[in-house]
Amino acid sequence: MALTTAPDPTRRGPGTDRAHATRRGPGLRHSEGLAGYVFLSPWLIGLMGVTAVPMLLSLYLSFTNYDILTPFSEVRWVGLANYERMFTSDPSYWHAVRVTVTFALIAVPLKLAAALGVALLLNRAWRGVGLFRGLFYLPSLLGGSVALAIVWVNMFNRDGAFNSLLSLVGIQGKPWVNDPDWALETLMVLAIWQFGAPMVIFLAGLKQVPTELYEAASVDGAGRFRQFRNVTLPMLSPVIFFNLVLETINGFQGFTAAFVLSNGTGGPVDSTLMYTLNLYITGFTDLEMGYASAMAWVFLLAIAVITAIFFSTGRFWVHYSDGEDR
């Protein structure tokens, strides 16, 4: 990789004479460093202007009573009041936390189980795999849209397709989306229906498992279940880990379907008040932007903590086949 000693005429590098050319000459390094920042500049400006400064602004606002209507000069510092309110005297905040955690705890494992199960079914090489894989992936492309959420809500409504299927087996359905006990469940089903994206990743992971391992296991007398437990699962654990982290973080951020189902209110009876929907209502309907900023920061910290927990427990069950743990 050592640079050739050719006297390269680096542009605007006056200092590149032969003496320095044995290694990367200072002139070259200088011009490359400059070029690096030229190429990086859009990203850097974006990082500062669209990410870093807004985050700091948000942190500051979370200690104020800012709403969009009062001018900046009249913003009042309220200390920890927003955080205090969130943790001690805002029942709908804790309700939103509960709804979100319930959603993630149920929908994410079921979605991953569906993804893994179908991936295992598909993993045997035969001609139809490509077609099936594509069809199963389709919901992941369409499922996050408003259009599909609209369809979903109607499908689980009184005259929807789900009830007409139930009536075929003689069960009297109900408008599930209007029932506080069932509305969130319909959103979970929507999330599980989009199992295609993690499935594709599982499939790629399954392809990496060497067939010799299965042969060795079957020589040792391991049946299909033992092979799954002792070969497939450990070999697949990095991919399971990856999907678990990604889907959990996505699960916490569910917004569109809950918004469509409840027409932006989180109803019926707050049963679909996801965290992000609650944040949206607080910030953009009630215009309590200081309070919403505090919610956003707690959300960010919660996600960071959960990710950290995943990574610290991962070393106990994630197996990397190159022998290096972690």
Partner 1 sequence: MVAVTPTAGVPTGPAPTARRRPGGRTLLRLLILVAIVAVVLYPLIWMVGTSVKSQEEIVNNVGLLPERFTPGNYTAGWSNFDVSFGRFFLNSAMVSLLTVVGNGLSCLLAAYAFARLRFRLRGLWFAVMIGTLLLPQHVLIVPQYILFRTLGLVGGEWPYLPLLIPQFLATEAFFVFLMVQFMRGVPRELDEAARIDGAGPFGIFRHIILPLSRPALVTTAIFSFIWTWNDFFRQLVFLSQLEDYTVPVALTLFIDSTSQSAVGPMFAMSVLSLLPVFLFFVAFQRMLVEGINTSGIKG
Residue 3 CB: number of other CB atoms within 10 A?
A: 12
Stretch that binds partner 1, among 9-17, 79-87, 308-316, 317-325 (CB under 8 A): 9-17
| Residue that is written with structure tokens 């590149």 in the block | 16
Q: Is 179 in the site for partner 1 (CB under 8 A)?
A: no
Within 12-71, which residues bind partner 1 (CB under 8 A)?
24, 29, 31-37, 39-40, 42-47, 49-51, 53-55, 57-58, 61, 68
* Residue 305 touches partner 1, criterion: CB under 8 A: no
User: Virtual CA dihedral for 180, 91, 75, 57, nearest 10 degrees?
Assistant: -70
Q: Is 113 in the site for partner 1 (CB under 8 A)?
A: no
Beta carbon of residue 19, minimum distance to partner 1 (angstroms, whole number): 19
Contact 263, 221 (CB under 8 A): no
Least Å from the CB of residue 73 to partner 1: 13
Binding-site member from 285, 307, 313, 321 for partner 1 (CB under 8 A): 307
Give the x-and-dash track for 91-110 against partner 1 (CB under 8 A).
--------------------
Among 63, 136, 176, 241, binds partner 1 (CB under 8 A): 136
Asked if 161 touches partner 1 (CB under 8 A), the answer is yes
**CB 183 to partner 1: min, Å:** 14
CA–CA distance, 263 with 314 (Å, rounded to integer): 39
Burial group, residue 282, by CB count within 10 angstroms (0-12, 13-18, 19+): buried
Q: What is the dihedral of CA 293, 297, 302, 305, to 10 degrees?
A: 170
Cβ distance to partner 1 smaller for residue 297 or 320: 297
* Cβ distance to partner 1 smaller for residue 184 or 260: 260
Q: From the list 15, 26, 134, 180, which residue makes contact with partner 1 (rule: CB under 8 A)?
A: 134
Nearer of residues 132 and 182 to partner 1, judged by Cβ: 132
If DSSP states are collapsed to H, E and C, what string results for 20-74?
HCCCCCHHHHHHHHHHHHHHHHHHHHHHHHHHHHHHHHHHHHCCECCCCCCCHHH
Of the candidates 93, 136, 138, the one whose C-alpha atom is nearest the C-alpha of residue 116 is: 136
